[in-house]
Amino acid sequence: PLYHQLKTLDANSIEAQVRSRPETEILLLAVDDDPLTLLNLTRILGSESRQIITAENGKQALQIALEKRPEMVITDWRMPQMDGLELCMALRQETTTQHTYIIMLTGAEADDELVQAFDAGADDYVVKPFTPKVLEARIRGGERLIRYQRKINRDREVIQKYAVRLGVANRKLHTMTDALTGLPNRRNAMARLKDVVAESSRYGEKLSCIMIDVDHFKNINDTHGHDNGDLVLKEVAQIFSKNARSYDMVSRMGGEEFLVISTRSDREESLQLAERLRAAVEKHVMELGGGTVAQVTISAGVASWRDEYANGGELIKAADDALYRAKKNGRNRVET
């Protein structure tokens, strides 16, 4: 599911990153105890797209393989110290080399030997004495697999990177959003307020706050249950969002309290907005579970930025005081 999400989310940039990576050469380890065969192998296999390193027996090969991690190993079978079969098995056992592509050079093409080689972990075999053309062809087959494996690894790396970014973004979103209403939460609103207050005091931009509280919300919970109370909060949040303008930030401060941070609005404009919100809530019929309906009202307090204010907290405090007056003066009203 995550993979799908990523695909739809950012398929283009994933593809672009994968494509932009240069294909580098393939590291190939040739192993044979016969120096002449080894020399031959390096000559035959020499290519711009490959780098070839050599070893004289299985033991040395294993050591080199663990250190240099070649993507392909071509190994002789019979060698002193450690033969090709043992090398195969050893490579398959180490996590760093377990996916190495291994070609065994075998003697006579005896069925039992072939089975033995594949059982030991060989991916392919070439019968000695080998025809250069055939050896080259089989190596190309192996290289196709190696390049495919590389692509898969790159894709996975990119996807993992995006998964991490997505996770970070999700967590950030999570900490900035109120879970019930989907609105920015208090922390988010306070960060925003700090920013816009800085702008207002520097450039004299208009800025107002509307503090809103649902009236007698405790009664709604008591009458219709807590779940229906939640529904009401969600509906109210939607009414606010729908009626606010693009440069108003509607947030949930907690409980049944909401804050609208209104840039480009003076007191008069914000009073109008608050009144619009109040009227919209008043006329809206909330449909609750079980076919019941409820009607709620809100009270709101409006305050606008003034140079005497030292910070956003004082602006909020002024809006809070106005809200208190709205409650005292009978609720379902706006004060400033």
- Provide the binding-site residues for Mg ion, judged by CB under 5 A: 33, 76, 78, 213-214, 217, 256-257
217 counts as binding ligand GH3 under rule CB under 6 A: yes
Pick one of 184, 256, 312, 318: the residue that binds ligand GH3 (CB under 6 A): 256
Asked if residue 72 lies in contact with residue 49, where contact means CB atoms within 8 angstroms, the answer is no
Contact characters 187-216, ligand GH3, x per CB under 6 A? --------------------------xxxx
Which residue out of 256, 269, 287, 308 is catalytically annotated?
Answer: 256
Q: Is 157 a catalytic residue?
A: no
Nearby residues of 42 by Cβ (< 8 Å), 6 or more positions away: 30, 52, 54
Minimal distance, residue 292 CB to ligand GH3, in Å:
15
222 counts as binding ligand GH3 under rule CB under 6 A: no
Residue 105 class from Cβ within 10 Å (0-12 exposed, 13-18 middle, 19+ buried)?
buried
DSSP states of 263-278 as a string? Answer: ET--HHHHHHHHHHHH
Interface with ligand GH3 (CB under 6 A), residue total 16
312 makes contact, choosing from ligand GH3, Mg ion, none, with CB < 5 to 8 Å by partner type, with none
* Amino acid found at 52: I
144 counts as binding ligand GH3 under rule CB under 6 A: no
Give the whole-angstrom CA distance, residue 322 versus residue 335. Answer: 5
* Farthest CA pair distance, the chain: 104
Minimal distance, residue 267 CB to ligand GH3, in Å:
23
Which of 61, 47, 48 has its CA nearest to residue 105?
A: 61
229 counts as binding ligand GH3 under rule CB under 6 A: yes
Give the whole-angstrom CA distance, residue 234 versus residue 19. Answer: 46
230 makes contact, choosing from ligand GH3, Mg ion, none, with CB < 5 to 8 Å by partner type, with ligand GH3
Asked if residue 105 lies in contact with residue 74, where contact means CB atoms within 8 angstroms, the answer is yes
DSSP-based three-state secondary structure for 204: coil
178 counts as binding ligand GH3 under rule CB under 6 A: no
Q: Which residues are catalytic?
A: 256
Residues in touch with ligand GH3 (CB under 6 A) = 180, 213-218, 221, 226, 229-230, 233, 255-256, 327, 331
